[in-house]
Amino acid sequence: MAYDLEEQEKLDAIKDWWTRYGTLCVVLAFVVLAGILGWRGWQWYQNHQNTQAMGYFEALEAASVMTGEEADARLVAASSTLRADFPKSGYASRGALVAAWALQERGNADGAREQLEWLIQQGSDPALKAVARLRLAGLLLEQKNFDAALAQLNNPPEGFAGLYADRKGDVLFAQQKLADARAAWQEALGLLKGDAVEQLIQLKIDAIGEQQ
């Protein structure tokens, strides 16, 4: 009898605890389960998005080495889809850079410029944005849009100061500002000491001496 009474007291204690905390336990269990399922769902979504973005990027790469109007249309379409649907993925930024190169090679300077400007303004990778600014400055130099080219070279990102100074020298030289071009190239030479482009920069400086 004492045993039955003790068991009954334990059951009553459990019932009392469940009455107090049962609902909370169920809610907490649901929240934890929902969190796990949500995380797995998010991972699946991210993987799915990356797979899709990679597919468009591969199509863009393939079109970049092809020729003809159809290849150009595929190139632009793939880049547009990456930028519209996957703007924060690395594939969108890389795709814009590849598309800009291909379009410039095919003589479509305006199309290349639009790709680079999007990357500079909307790209997610700081290093690729820095490269885009450098390449856009070169494109603007070819178009003799010197002021716009120099504007792209202001406040160079960390690690790109030497390359930006070199390109700045190119723009100033095209403007026949030889002393300023020499100063920019000398700055670049100091920043890129030991780099593969060092000899080329020195050749530019020597060429200015021959013209003065």
Q: Which residues contact 197 (CB under 8 A, 6 or more apart)?
A: 163, 166
Query: DSSP of 48-78, one letter per residue?
Result: HHHHHHHHHHHHHHHHHT--SHHHHHHHHHH
What pLDDT digit, counting tens, does each position of 97-154 carry? Answer: 999 999 998 889 999 999 999 999 988 889 999 999 999 999 999 999 999 999 999 9
Which residue ranges make up each domain of the chain? 22-145, 153-212
Q: What pTM did the predictor assign? A: 0.73
pLDDT digits (tens, 9 = 90+) for 17-65: 667 666 666 555 555 545 554 545 545 445 556 778 888 888 888 888 8
145: left (phi over 0), alpha (psi -120 to 50) or beta: beta
Multiple choice CATH, 22-145, 1.20.120, 3.40.720, 1.25.40, 1.10.287: 1.25.40
Q: What angle do CA 181, 187, 189 make, to 5 degrees?
A: 100
